[in-house]
Every structure is written in C-alpha cells, then in structure tokens.
A and B are shown apart, each in its own frame.
Chain A
Amino acid sequence: MAVTGMPRGHALAAPVDLNGTGHYVHWGVIQLSVANLVVIGVMVVVFVLALLLPFPGGRR
C-alpha cells in the first residue's frame, strides 16, 4: 500500500470513518439522517430493555 498521497494523520485515523456523504431518510415532512435514526433506535431499544430486563438482585 503506497504511503504517498495519504492524508496527514492517517495512521491515527478512526477505524470507522463517518466523514463523507451522509445518508438521509425523507418521508413527507420528516427528513432525518440515518445516523440520527440509528441513535433513536438505540434509545428505544435501551428503553425497552430497561423495562424488560429483571431488576438486579430482584430475585432473592
């Protein structure tokens, strides 16, 4: 792999590069990025898990 032409700081670059063209969902008045949609999905999953997972030490 040629090192010539690599951007400076490439060696310390993040494994997952999210810079570049973004991805978006457009539905009627709703327009949001896929990244925001993923965060919203994670928030919903965490909320549901908080409801469903057993309370630590609850079963004694």
Chain B
Amino acid sequence: MTRRRRERAAVPDPAAFPTRSYDLVKEFTIALVVVALLTAALAAVFSSPDDRPVTLASWSRADGADFTATAAAELGGTSGTAEYGPPYNHTPGAAQKLGPLGLQSAAGVRIPIDTAEDFVLRPLADAPQPPVVRVALAAWAAAPAARQQAWTKAYSDALAKAPGGDPAKVTGGGFGPVPVLVARLLDMARSGALDGQLQAEGKFYETDYTRPLLFLSDGSYLETLARAQHLGGDQWGMMNETGDYPGQAWLWLYTFWYQIEPFKSSGNADALIWGLMALLSLGLMLLPFIPGLRSIPRWTRVHRLIWRSYHRTADQPEGRDNSPG
C-alpha cells in the first residue's frame, strides 16, 4: 500500500507540462487529401477484381446435372437451405446454440423460404408452360406430402446412380411428375428466366440476390468454383478476393478460430466463435480495469520510443526539455 502511494505521488501533474498549439482541422484535411489521392492512384494502377458473375443461367449451362440434382433436392426439401433453420425456416434442431442460448432461433425466421415453393413450383407456375408441365404441377399439388417426398427421394437416388448424374441416363421409375418439373426448371434456368424470377421483388431496381444465391450455394458448382480460388473458407480473412487482390486481412482473428479444433468440427462453430469474439472484444474494452493486462504498456515501454526525445532529457538529472519526440 505504501509503495503504491509512493508510485502515485511520483506521477507528475499533466497540467504542469508545457503546451503548444495543434491544428486538428489541418491534420484532418491533410489526411483526407492524402487518403483520397492514394485511393485514386491505387484504383488507377490496380483497378478491381473482374470475375464474371455466377448466375443460375451460367450454372445450368455449365453443369446441368448438378443443377438438376439440386432442383430435385429443393423440391424434396432436403437441400442445405431447406434444412438450414432460422432465418429461412423452422427446421427442428438445425439452429446453432451457445450453451443453452439458442442465438439463431432467437433471431427468428426473418427471410421465410420454402425451397419447393419458392425455388421450383412458383417460378414454374408464374411462367407460361406447355400442357405437360401444367399437368405435372397439378399432379404435384394433388399428391400428399409423403408421396411427394417418395417421388423426390426416388428421383434423387436415381440421379446419383446415373452416369455423370445425367437425367437422360436415369433408369427406374416411381418419380411422379418430378422429372418433368425439374427438366422444365432447367430449361428456364438456361434461358435466364429463373434468375429474374427468383430476384423479382416488385421494385424497379432488383438488388436482393438472397434466393438465387441460396439456390446456387445448395449445388456443388459454386463451391467448386470458390475452392478453385481458395475461397472455400480455409483462407484467413473474412472476405477474401479473387486473383491476386487483397481482401480484409485485418479480420484474420475471426476466421482463425474456424481453422482449429474444437471449432473446426463443431456444428455450433458460428455461435461459439461469435461468443468467443464478443468475450475478447469485451476484454479489450475493459483492458484498463484488468490487472496484469493493463500493465503491458508499462512493460513493453513503447511509449518511451514514441516520446524518446522527452525521455532522453527527462531521465537526465538536469537540463530538462519537455518537447515531444
């Protein structure tokens, strides 16, 4: 206690230090101009990533088998989106938890998506269709849920066994109207109509890509493209870029946790890492109150490097000069 009092007494009064004028507006203006010039120069020299967009049309043209298998899964409600849970649907047990806290469920279903209805049936129903497709839509609507599930399961299994997943080489039966519906959806996707259907928001400018992107991400085509560009989630950084463009590397800590156990293999990784980062952020905010950690600046003595000119003279017994570095 006595020692602490002595240390406190040794701290000089800040008001006793000499002062000098400092133009904050001038510094802000200089920083703004420098950053603006730097941004313009770097943009002129390096430009920006210029990859062709991946759309439902480009996917269905490049890999019709993958599109067909994904469409069958969307229709049967067995795709990744169909079983994701909140914010898209109420799949039991799908939501991530942080201990007893169901964070994902707490946010609720804010973007309700019924993959069969939204990705397959409504786009087909909203477009002019030949009689065979209209009959297939009516047959699907009239069938009980269990039969619909049996049709899509049988067709998905048959597609998995067909050489190259080619719908033309599927053998067997018991698929109901599924092959007709999925084949017509493939045609619509190849024509580009499905991209427009899934984006339709009733606004002049269509900016919501949630539905087409979810449909795309349920297939393996987009993931294959992403992995080829090291964008499969195993590269450090929150949002990495294509080619040799840098991303947000300074967000490395958030993605670091995904690379190590127990987070790497956990089904609750998102919730656990969010909780961990919230805890670490809280620690950073409360740093001045945490014994030991708050003393790191005094141990590292970086401040003496910044204010080295002051300390050079202040540490001498005489001839004190208080001007900063």
Would you call B324 and A33 a contact (CB within 8 A)?
Answer: no
The answer to whether residues A32 and B323 also contact, given A15-B45, A16-B46, A22-B230 and a CB cut-off of 8 A, is no
Q: Do the beta carbons of A20 and B244 come within 8 Å of each other?
A: yes
CB distance from A42 to the nearest CB of B (A): 10
Q: Tell me how far the C-beta of A7 lies from the nearest C-beta in chain B, rounded to whole angstroms.
A: 10
Contacts A19-B49, A31-B236, A36-B246 hold; do A24 and B324 have CB atoms under 8 A apart? no
B242, B247, B324: the one contacting A36 at CB < 8 Å is: B247
Contact indicator A55/B46 (Cβ below 8 Å): no
Q: How far is the CA of A30 from the CA of B256 in the complex (A)?
A: 8
A19–B52 alpha-carbon span in the complex (Å): 11
Interface status of B47 (Cβ within 8 A of chain A): yes
Question: Given A23-B244, A58-B325, does the pair A36, B46 have CB atoms closer than 8 Å?
Answer: no
Closest residue on chain B to residue A57 by CB atoms:
B20
Separation of A31 and B252 alpha carbons in the complex (Å): 11
A32 and B305 contact, Cβ closer than 8 Å, known pairs A19-B51, A43-B250: no
Tell me if B247 and A33 are in contact (CB < 8 A): yes
Please, which residues of chain A bring their CB within 8 A of the CB of B242? 19, 22
- The A-B contact count (CB < 8 A) is 93
Beyond contacts A31-B230, A60-B323: 20 other A-B pairs, Cβ-Cβ < 8 A, are A14-B47, A17-B47, A18-B244, A19-B245, A21-B243, A24-B235, A31-B236, A31-B259, A32-B237, A33-B230, A33-B244, A35-B244, A36-B237, A37-B249, A51-B302, A54-B325, A55-B324, A58-B324, A58-B325, A59-B309
In the complex, whether B282 has a CB less than 8 A from a CB of chain A is: no
- Once the chains bind, are A14 and B44 in contact (CB under 8 Å)? yes
Q: Does B260 contact A (CB under 8 A)?
A: yes
Which residue of the partner chain A has the closest CB to B307? A55
Q: Is the CB of A36 within 8 A of B243?
A: no
Which residues from 280 to 325 on chain B have a C-beta closer than 8 Å to any C-beta of chain A?
302, 305-306, 309, 323-325
Decide: B230 and A24 in contact? CB cutoff 8 A: yes
What are 16 of the A-B contact pairs (CB < 8 Å)?
Answer: A16-B45, A18-B49, A18-B244, A19-B244, A19-B245, A22-B229, A22-B230, A22-B242, A30-B236, A31-B235, A32-B235, A33-B241, A33-B244, A38-B246, A39-B246, A60-B323
Interface: B240 (CB within 8 A): yes
Chain A residue numbers with a CB within 8 Å of B229 are 22
C-alpha spacing A17/B325, complex, angstroms: 41
Given contacts A22-B244, A51-B302, A51-B305, is CB(A36)–CB(B236) below 8 Å?
yes
Q: Does A45 contact B (CB under 8 A)?
A: no
CB neighbours of A24 from chain B (8 A): 230, 235
B-side contacts of A19, CB under 8 Å: 49-51, 242-245
Q: Does B234 contact A (CB under 8 A)?
A: yes
Partner of A32, one of B45, B249, B302: B249
How far does the alpha carbon of A15 sit from the alpha carbon of B45 in the complex, in Å?
5
Mask, A34-50, CB within 8 Å of B = 1, is: 11111110010000000
Chain B, residue nearest A40 (CB): B249
- Contact present for B306 and A51 (CB under 8 Å): yes
A55 CB to nearest B CB, Å: 5
- State whether the Cβ of A52 lies closer than 8 Å to any Cβ in chain B: yes
